[in-house]
Chain A
Amino acid sequence: MTSEEYLSSQDYQLAKTVAKPGYKVSVQRLNSWFFEKKALKEINLDVKENTVTALIGPSGCGKTTLIRSLNRMNEMTLGARVEGSVFLDDVDIYDRTVDPVIIKRRIGMVFQKPNPFPTMSIYDNVAAGLRLNGIRDKRLINEIVEESLKGAALWDEVKDELGKPGISLSGGQQQRLCIARALAMQPEVLLMDEPTSALDPIASAKIEELMHDLKRDLTIIIVTHNMQQAARVSDFTAFMYLGELIEYGPTTRIFENPDKELTERYISGKFG
């Protein structure tokens, strides 16, 4: 075997990527393409449990691509390809034996634009995933719906009108409904791609407070264009540029004293 063959062999891949005890999510040597175009280059990122990690970087740097590859959401995109490993605890989610449906249950996602199921009531929006997973017990579903809406800090505002269509809520409420929908599956990790960019400051503040409360029970990874939001909500910050992870560390250090000139220029608004 030539060294080149060895480097591209399964043996090497397996030898290089192993679960990292102590980390909830461990991204190792992740590369990603859209057709011929490389979108992620050798990303390594270890995320501790019960923390909030912010992904920041200029438009097109690969934040969405990275966060979507953390629960195999990217596979649904035409032309998308991934190499490398993403460990959830000790399971490589890209292992051929792993069922992507289970991964999506353990790793929930909230998108930039609130996207409640348009024809469903508030209640059904939250219950849908449970039913899809074969839960039929009405009392149990009731319980989880209430718990999830409380967890998303929406319960008090909607408890008397659970039959109303989800899309009749305000934007900020819809986003919290989507968070409740994700929470109903009792995920261990919650991915959020610019969850507040369509919301007003008050609704955004509610989501930020929510992240702070939720991290007691789960691990959150958030993409944000708002530097102050990253500084407020996150424990760790990862700065990406042109598909590469440039710098990753405790948020206070990244914002007070970044190592890399590029990071400094980006967070100080000296780009362009």
Chain B
Amino acid sequence: MTRLLDYGLGSLSNLIMKMADLSVRSVDTAIELYEKGDGDKSQLFEWSEQLRVLQDEITELAVELIARYQPVATDLRFIRSCIEISYGFSRFGRYAYDIVDVIGAMGSIAHCDKSAVMEMAKTTTEMIHQSVQALRTRDKTAAEKLYQMDDTVDALYRKHLREAITPSTKKGTNDMVKDPRCYVSTLLILRYLERMADHACYVGDAVNYIVTGSSSPRR
């Protein structure tokens, strides 16, 4: 038996997976552009806007489904989680845009050491892919893994922050010190990556809530 609610849940599901694809593509593209030192942000801006519009659509549809059908149990939990996850996905898009925007604002950063960002980006993008995969397969165990990866990201972020505010004893050896553009852009982007990693965890939480009904307190 197909319930009227099922048609609405189908649409909601399509919208959220569309956001998933778009946000993953945004983040991957932003990292590629950073690596190339390319600050062309027009594409990222467009995707970020699309994600924001999709987020609004999801919220509206979610409210409509609640008003019309008063869903309960798994249906209700899925709808609530879609609202939360769509916010997470739109943040992925926004931070991806912000990364490219930094390149544009700073001018050429081709000569900067990119290893710190690339190291963190590896984990963060992996987390984003895993959070989307968790949603696709309704994997309740993903949240736990995501939080473990988030610890790595947080540790990296703190390490670089500490380095940045510690007066260098080996002046001249580090191009971060030589060029404030490298130094500021690196810290900003590390910050965006760290934020994205948190949102990937929240997506994991929201998936876990759909499946188990227990909302894990945000750590």
Contacts and interface: CB of A to CB of B under 8 A. Distances in A.
Interface of A: 227-228, 231, 255-258, 263-264, 267-270, 272
B213 A257 contact: yes
Contacts of B212: 257
A256 B77 contact: yes
Interface string B104-132: 00000000000000000000000000000
A256 B213 contact: yes
Give the interface SS of chain A, mostly helix, strand, loop or mixed. Answer: helix
Contacts, number: 35
A1 to B, nearest CB: 47
A269 B73 contact: no
B5 interface: yes
A264 B74 contact: yes
B72 A268 contact: yes
Of the listed residues B70, B72, B75, B76, the one surrounded by the most CB atoms of chain A closer than 10 A to its CB is B72
A268 B77 contact: no
B72 A227 contact: yes
A262 to B, nearest CB: 12
A237 to B, nearest CB: 11
11 contacts: A227-B70, A228-B70, A231-B70, A255-B73, A256-B73, A256-B76, A256-B77, A256-B213, A263-B73, A268-B72, A269-B5
B16 to A, nearest CB: 20
A255 B72 contact: yes
B70 A257 contact: no
Nearest to B1: A272
A255 B71 CA distance: 9
Interface string B53-96: 00000000000000000111111110000000000000000000
A81 B71 CA distance: 38
A267 B71 CA distance: 9
B170 interface: no
A272 B77 CA distance: 23
B72 A270 contact: no
Nearest to A232: B70
Interface residues of B, number: 14
- Nearest 4 interchain pairs by C-beta: A257-B213, A255-B72, A264-B73, A267-B72
Contacts of B75: 268
Nearest to B72: A255
A193 B71 CA distance: 24
A257 B77 contact: yes
B72 A231 contact: yes
Given A255-B73, A267-B73, 15 more contacts: A227-B70, A227-B72, A231-B70, A231-B72, A255-B72, A255-B76, A256-B72, A256-B77, A257-B212, A257-B213, A257-B214, A258-B73, A267-B72, A268-B71, A268-B75
A269 B3 CA distance: 8
Given A227-B72, A231-B72, A257-B213, A270 B1 contact: yes
B2 to A, nearest CB: 10
A193 to B, nearest CB: 23
A228 B3 CA distance: 17
A264 B76 CA distance: 11
Contacts of A257: 73, 77, 212-214
B70 A268 contact: no
Contacts of A269: 3, 5
Contacts of A270: 1, 3
Contacts of A258: 73
A257 B76 CA distance: 9
